[in-house]
Amino acid sequence: MTTASIPKQPLTDALDRQWSSLAELLAELSPAEWDTSSGLPGWTVRDVVAHLIGTESVLTGEQAPEADIDLAELPHVHNDIGAANERWVRALRDHTPEQLRTRFAEVTAARRAALAAMSQEDFDAPSWTPLGPGSYADFMRIRVFDSWMHEQDVRCAVGRPGHEGGVCAELAVDQIERALGFVIGKKAGAPRGSTVTLSLTGPVHRDVHVRVDERAAVVEALPRPATSVLRLSSSLAARLAGGRAEPADHLAEVELAGDRELGERIIRHLAFTI
């Protein structure tokens, strides 16, 4: 996690925009679409929305509902965070779409008010985050990422693409970029001395460079062409990083140059979310 101060206002603006985009999408869904599989193990579209409501509710100080079963027995629950998410999903599963839309509107209104009342010092303060100790601002960056990813889950499930570019998507890609040293160096096992360029072709456009020394790290630039270059859309990169797509099914959508074996290994190990 970063130790530098992360400005509050751009983050709160992004969360506001992200919640508005989700609310607009939820208003368009038909009753049948709420019960469509989200593509996430064990969850329908309504379950994704329940998860988002639950997370923001916890951040308002509301206690999570008690579990009605042993959540560890569910095949898609792998850790304590997954179990906490499932408590909200199960508790809200009998809510109607209108009730869920109302709950989402109410909790995001409360969160907007709470964030508006916080100072920059509050955002700089130490905080728990799903990725380990950080600042409250680090946590809110993860909330933008998580909320944007789940909006894309819903859009993919119901065939309503959108909001793949813009400030929220840029912040989501920032979160992916921060994980690339771990993904490329540790998970994909890129050898010491190698370099990688991940070139995103849109809707978010950027080139991300990683150099592997004792540890792999994102760097501003490389002195020479990378050992392996991967060109793909930011939308596919996000789905792969979030474990939403089977890498083998999408290799043809990635343009590889240089060390193709390393490039394919990176694609196969790009997923990092918990």
> Are the beta carbons of 179 and 241 closer than 8 angstroms?
yes
CA atoms within 13 A on the CB side of 115: 23
pLDDT for residue 2? 59
Residues 106 and 193 in one domain: no
Nearest-10 crossing angle of helices 167-181, 136-158: 110
Residues 14 and 144 in one domain: yes
Residues 141 and 26 in one domain: yes
pLDDT for residue 170? 98
Q: Give the C-alpha separation, 219 to 233, whole Å.
A: 21
- The enclosing domain of 113 has a CATH number of 1.20.120.450
> Are the beta carbons of 29 and 158 closer than 8 angstroms?
yes
Asked, for residue 73, whether it belongs to a domain, the answer is yes
Residue ranges making up the domain that contains 36? 8-163
> Are the beta carbons of 212 and 147 closer than 8 angstroms?
no
> Are the beta carbons of 251 and 236 closer than 8 angstroms?
no
Per-residue pLDDT tens digits for 34-88: 999 999 999 999 999 999 999 999 999 998 877 776 666 766 866 767 677 788 8
pLDDT for residue 75? 66
CA-to-CA separations, 63 to 84, 88, 105, 115, in angstroms, rounded: 11, 10, 18, 19
> Which is nearest to 111 in space by CA: 71, 143, 150?
143
pLDDT for residue 181? 97
pLDDT for residue 1? 65
The confidence band for 204, taking pLDDT boundaries of 50, 70 and 90, is: very high
Per-residue pLDDT tens digits for 139-148: 999 999 999 9
Q: Give the C-alpha separation, 147 to 2, whole Å.
A: 21
Quickly count: other Cβ atoms within 10 Å of residue 178's Cβ.
17
pLDDT for residue 127? 96
Query: Average of pLDDT values for 171-188?
Result: 97
Q: Give the C-alpha separation, 87 to 188, whole Å.
A: 34
Quickly count: other Cβ atoms within 10 Å of residue 51's Cβ.
22
Predicted model pTM: 0.94
The dihedral formed by the CA atoms of 147, 218, 190 and 132, expressed in degrees to the nearest 10:
-50
pLDDT for residue 269? 97
Q: Give the C-alpha separation, 15 to 210, whole Å.
A: 29
pLDDT for residue 100? 98
The one-letter amino acid code at 258 reads G
159 contacts: CB under 8 Å, gap ≥ 6: none
Q: Give the percent of the chain with pLDDT over 90.
A: 87
pLDDT for residue 202? 98
Q: Give the percent of the chain with pLDDT over 70.
A: 94
Q: Give the C-alpha separation, 145 to 11, whole Å.
A: 11
Query: Average of pLDDT values for 177-197?
Result: 97
> Are the beta carbons of 160 and 30 closer than 8 angstroms?
no
Point out the domain boundary residue: 163, 188, 204.
163
Asked, for residue 170, whether it belongs to a domain, the answer is no
Residues 13 and 87 in one domain: yes
Point out the domain boundary residue: 163, 191, 206.
163
- The enclosing domain of 246 has a CATH number of 3.30.1050.10
Number of domains in the chain: 2
> Cis (ω within 30 of 0) for the bond into 225?
no
pLDDT for residue 18? 98
